With several copies, the nearest count.
Chain A
């Protein structure tokens, strides 16, 4: 699905050390992969590289097995850290954006797309807010709309940059439940940046830990919990053990 081989990137030539150095990663179709790393370790940068907003200094990015050298834009769905809803468009119109830019014949009729969006808005608890402007929504609601907009793109590979970061505990839990229930029918591949370890374990098949110093190399962790998962399994002893393991890996580096 996606493979990175020895990816290196730095924002400016003169920059002493690159943000990302020698990163290799392999993502299979249908996998859910979380990426964890300290702030500034280059997670968002990695996503921009995959999405095609930035060009890596040296490396090959393969999506769907094909080598993407030039224009990867429009191949993956990307949800940035900020919600970036257009303030002059209603919730519905914001969600229609990906459809507007889609020039493939498969994009479907506007009416169908709207009906689909309305259904999903309902599911996200935003049914009433369809015709609201973003500035009339709370931070959490805006984030949900942005997530919805990402799903609407219809791409197979989703890059989610802290999609649930701004959600409250309850809504987040509900989103987990919903996502887990839906997961097997979605047939999507997800790369997921999060700072919530439980969330990472709960949702992922694998977790990549980005190093805080670019030259230390990524760590990989397999989450061998059975699927389908349930959203309240976080008191499961296996789950707790995984979590302790993950925390240890993280903190042994940070606090000696």
Chain B
């Protein structure tokens, strides 16, 4: 397609961009008309105002702290998740033994275990990273593992007759086949990462957007609280888009798998 880039963009996100001001205006009017008290949902304008007022703290300190936790936790969960998925794929008993634990780990509300995290990791960044890791881990393992299982028997047979070893098949067939599924997992996971970091910051600490939002909430500075949530959301979306762009870059040069 030789369509100019901006036209493609308008076509893709025009509707979304149209919907945004519409939503904002109705939100603003709902609040200014007093239908919803502003200490429960502040008006968009006051959120933006609060963002500017505290921009120094929010952007200069808390955003960076959260970003750090998210990045560390995400990277660790990608590494750990892929390793576990590959392990489960290559050695079936690992799957049989660990899959149930994986599911169990997801059914336990993490906050309930907060003393354990603090006992193990103290009030360092690692207690937050651990929580990010645990939230982000599951989608990566599951989707990578599912992707690896897709490896096609016919292709495998062909490669075997060429003298390919287990590792060759893994490299040439299974990894490329698993990539799309792996990226679906990454996309889910990066979104959960941000929430994970927020929850982690509630466990204790002195910085991060989650910490700030909770502080502001306990003082009923709802607008500042929403400002930090807005930033959290923007952070999540930017990270998501980053993953999408990487995915497009990696997968665009290959023919469809069908």
Contact = CB atoms under 8 A, between A and B. Distances in A.
B98 interface: no
Contacts of B241: none
A200 B257 CA distance: 34
A14 interface: yes
A84 B158 contact: yes
B159 interface: yes
A101 B2 contact: no
A127 B196 CA distance: 53
B256 A87 contact: yes
Nearest to A81: B154
A88 B162 contact: no
A48 B168 contact: no
Given A87-B257, A87-B258, A101-B168, A51 B176 contact: no
Nearest to B165: A101
Contacts of B159: 97, 101
Contact of B161 (A73, A87, A133, A134): A73
A53 B160 contact: yes
A5 to B, nearest CB: 22
B53 interface: no
B173 interface: yes
Contacts of B245: none
Contacts of A53: 157, 160-161
Contacts, number: 67
Q: Find the residue from A82, A87, A88, A97 having the highest chain B CB count within 10 A.
A: A88
B173 A86 contact: yes
A193 B216 CA distance: 74
A103 B254 CA distance: 27
Interface in A100-150: 100-103, 133-136
Interface residues of B, number: 21
B172 interface: yes
Contact of A88 (B2, B161, B176): B176
Contacts of B155: 84, 86
Query: In the complex, which range does the number of interface residues on chain A fall in?
Result: 20 to 34
B154 A74 contact: no
B163 A103 contact: yes
Nearest to B155: A84
A103 B164 CA distance: 9
B152 to A, nearest CB: 8
A242 interface: no
A55 B164 CA distance: 18
B162 A87 contact: no
A78 interface: yes
B164 A101 contact: yes
B31 to A, nearest CB: 51
A46 to B, nearest CB: 14
B60 interface: no
Q: Find the residue from B155, B160, B162, B258 having the highest chain A CB count within 10 A.
A: B162
A86 B176 contact: yes
Contact of A48 (B2, B157, B162): B157
A33 interface: no
B255 interface: yes
B162 A82 contact: no
Contact of A97 (B154, B157, B162, B255): B162
Contacts of A97: 159, 162, 172
A204 interface: no
A35 interface: no
A76 interface: yes
B257 A88 contact: yes
A47 to B, nearest CB: 9
A4 B93 CA distance: 37
B181 to A, nearest CB: 14
A163 interface: no
Given A82-B154, A84-B155, 17 more contacts: A48-B157, A76-B161, A78-B161, A78-B162, A80-B154, A80-B158, A84-B154, A87-B254, A87-B255, A88-B255, A88-B257, A100-B172, A101-B163, A101-B165, A102-B163, A135-B255, A136-B255
> Which 4 pairs between the two chains have the least Cβ-Cβ distance?
A74-B163, A133-B255, A88-B254, A78-B161
